[in-house]
Every structure is written in C-alpha cells, then in structure tokens.
Chains A and B, each alone.
Chain A
C-alpha cells in the first residue's frame, strides 16, 4: 500500500506537522481530519485581538488555504473520528467511512473543563476555547453591559482586559486566594490584581460560585456568600482536559495525556502524538510534562515529522508562553512550578514593567517578564543552555541583564 500519513486534529501542531513532513521529504499522501469546520487557526487571539474585533477570521489562519493545496494536504474538516483500528491500520469516521493509514498522528489538543453550575446552560454563558464559542459571544458584548468571568487564570484575565477595552463592566471570580495562583509567584499575582483594579475590573478572590441565575438568558452570578453580581455575559475559564479518548480506546498508553517518548512516538511505533494532548519527558526539567502551549505544539510536531520520515531527533525544547493584557506583554520562559525563591528585577508594586526570576535549590528555572523583552530573551537563552544566574545581580538594575547569567 502506498504511504499515507493521517493527522487527527486540525490544530497548531497539525499545521506545523504537515509543513515539516514535506520539508523532511515525505512523498506519500497527507490528510488532516478535524472536527471543527475550520482550517488550523491561532487560538491565542480568540480571547484578545479577535475578541475585540481587531483580527478577522481570516487573520486567524496559521497558514493560508493555498498552502495546503500546494503541499498536497487533503483536508477532511467538520469530520469526527470515532475509532482507530490499529490492527487493520485504519481510522473510522462518524459516517462509518474507513480510511487506511501507514502513519498516524494525534494532535487532538485539549477541551475546556466544564463545571456543571446551576444555570450554566443559559444563553450568554460561554467557554473560550473554540472559534465557534467566541463568535457567539459577540451577541452579548457591548459598551455598558456587564460580564462576569469565572476563573482568574490567564484566559480569564486576558478576557477581562478585552472586555474592558470594549467598555464593559467586568468582575472576575476566583476561588483561590489570588489570581494566577497555580502558575505564578505572589508578587506577580499582586501585580495583575493591581493593574486590573486600576483598569476598572472588580477582582473577587476566595469567592465561590453558587449558581448562574436567569430565566432563558443569563442575568447574574450568585456567589456562595449569597450576593448576586448582575451579568449579561458569563465566561468560564477554569482549565482544560487533554483529548485522549481515541488513544485510550485504541489501547495506547495514556497518563495525563497520550504518553510519547522523546521522539513523539506512542507505544505503537506507527502512531505519534504532539501538542496539548501529549505527555512527554522533558530532559531540561527531568520530568514528564503535559504542556498547554503553542511552542510545544509546533516544536513537538517537528520532532514527530522527523521521526515519521526516519530522521529521529530527541525533543529537547525549553517551554515558553506569553499573555497580552492591556499594554502588558508578559513573556514566560521555563516552568516555575516547584520554585523556592523569587527574585524581582524592577518594581512590581508601581509602574508596569518588571521581571520575576524563579529559582529552585539555587538554580534558575523560569522567568515571568512583563514589558521586559530583554530579560525574557536572555533568560530563555540561558535556560536552554543550562545556565543559572546570580540572584543579587538579577535584582540590581545597575548591572546589565546579560551580565547576570553564569
């Protein structure tokens, strides 16, 4: 049978993978199957530039439609895979159509974690993951209207900033004692709370949601303390879950994501996985990771393409992330989980620019850089090279950032 590489999930990883396959010399057929009716698109702008109307649907496309035609990539969009038959090496689609593969890649991504609040089925309640969700929110937005955001993570805060930009009243409800608690130091949480408060957002921490209220359309959010916040729009952003069901049913190893080795290969040597849905070993941090990021989707897809083309290369990338809110450009290099020391360069209590460097047992592990592109770039390079830094030099702005690393 002639070679056919099928990619399940029309995602960031898929867009990179098909391009890398052709660059690495794959001459067989390539197909992308996606359950959404869209070409692979950039998700980060959904809560930002697309949400406020600064980007159009076409601007979201990772690669133009032309790219797929030129590279002979078949697109089966709006089509759901129901099963993988590993013995017969074929996938089965919703309409029982069977498609044989020689190599299969799972880039199925993640889906929002849903919490069954009373009233979460009301019109005007949304999650912020898919283009379809965000397109529908536009009916409920507008200057002077009110929005309640459940969840003070990056998605929640980015959406809050976007809603303020279009003149809405915004309240953020966070169950923990501070926003971004799971991912940043207290200093960074305090900074974002200050900025959002200055920008007119009402941030409520240690607040539980009792119910979303309304008849047909959402009218408010009732908190555990009995108070109700009026709302025309409710956005829930409380994390995502990896889409592993297809892999699991097919007997592939799954453990908080589809488990792959350093070559993005699953326990079936003809099946690969990349991006948010995968769980891999990171040699820099020396542990298993499941990352939710564009960087991981694109970098791991390249590794999968190399393995498929018989040119295996070990995946060894430094995770990095970004978040844009108001005039703040947050750039994160590395993973801060497990830190035991934070060093602040600049002033986090005033102004809008500083960097928080994270250490564990004396070693630099990550940076959150806010309007500090140099700190981000230098730290990213140092972490990739396995270097650490001198905490005293990092904290001293009279010393050039490049001289703080060793």
Chain B
C-alpha cells in the first residue's frame, strides 16, 4: 500500500497508507483529513477536493481531462500543479507522494 503524505496549508503533515486503485480524495476522506472535502463523492462535479501535487511527483500522475482543467481554472488559488484529487488514482509508483492542500476549498 503506497504511502501518501498530505500537507496542510500551515505545513502539518499526515501520512496515510492507501490502497492502489483508490483516489487521493477517497484516501483523505477515509482517514479524516479535513483539507479535502470531496462532496460529490468523486464524480468531478464539485471541486472541493482541490490539491497541489508536489512538483517532484507530477510525472507519476496521469494528466487532467478537459472538465477537470476547466474546473481547476476557477478554484481558489490555482497553481501549475493543481489537481482535483478525486481524479488522481493511486498507483504503486506514487509511494511517498506529497499532496499539499489549499487553505480553503471554497
């Protein structure tokens, strides 16, 4: 089970071992990490699971589709490595990935 490191906006980290095949959002919700909400349950409808992929790990993550890209244009404080974490599926190659979270989802 790959290790996912969630980093809150004030720098606190929480480490979680997550099943491959699940999403970065679901792993956060299952472990009570409150920086990620995931209100729509992962169907890319709400943009309340916004996160920043650590630049060193971007190449391990599949790219966003057009719906996700459009929604990311409109989130609070978007950055180049912004993603909706419900669309990022955990693979073995992501073992140790660092996921930073914004101060607020809305």
- A residues with CB within 8 A of B: 19, 22-23, 42, 44-45, 49, 62-64, 66-67, 70-71, 294-295, 298, 320, 322, 324, 329, 331, 371, 373-374, 377-378, 380-381, 384
Contact = CB atoms under 8 A, between A and B. Distances in A.
B74 A324 contact: no
B41 A42 contact: yes
A45 B41 CA distance: 9
A42 B38 CA distance: 12
B98 interface: no
A375 to B, nearest CB: 9
A32 to B, nearest CB: 15
Contact of B41 (A44, A70, A371, A373): A44
A388 to B, nearest CB: 18
Contacts of B41: 42, 44-45, 62, 294
Contact of A377 (B30, B40, B43, B75): B75
What are the nearest 5 A-B pairs in CB distance?
A377-B74, A322-B45, A373-B70, A373-B71, A42-B41
A42 B67 CA distance: 22
Interface in B79-100: none
Contacts of B101: none
Interface string B26-56: 0001111010010111011111000000000
A392 B87 CA distance: 35
Given A373-B70, A373-B71, A373-B74, A19 B32 contact: yes
Given A294-B39, A373-B74, A374-B74, A331 B31 contact: no
B83 to A, nearest CB: 14
12 contacts: A42-B41, A44-B40, A62-B29, A62-B41, A63-B29, A67-B30, A298-B37, A322-B45, A371-B67, A373-B47, A374-B73, A377-B73
A381 B74 contact: yes
Given A22-B32, A67-B32, A373-B67, A381 B40 contact: no
Contact of B40 (A64, A322, A374): A322
A257 to B, nearest CB: 21
Given A298-B39, A381-B74, A66 B30 contact: yes
A70 B74 CA distance: 35
Contacts of B75: 377
Nearest to A322: B45
A348 B101 CA distance: 37
Given A294-B40, A295-B39, A373-B67, 5 more contacts: A19-B32, A66-B30, A322-B40, A374-B71, A378-B74
Contacts of A378: 74
A294 B43 CA distance: 13
Contacts of B45: 322, 324, 329, 331
B106 A384 contact: yes
Given A66-B30, A294-B39, A320 B74 contact: no
A374 B31 CA distance: 30
A324 B38 CA distance: 17
Contacts of B70: 373-374, 377
Most buried by A among B30, B40, B45, B67: B45
A319 to B, nearest CB: 12
A327 to B, nearest CB: 10
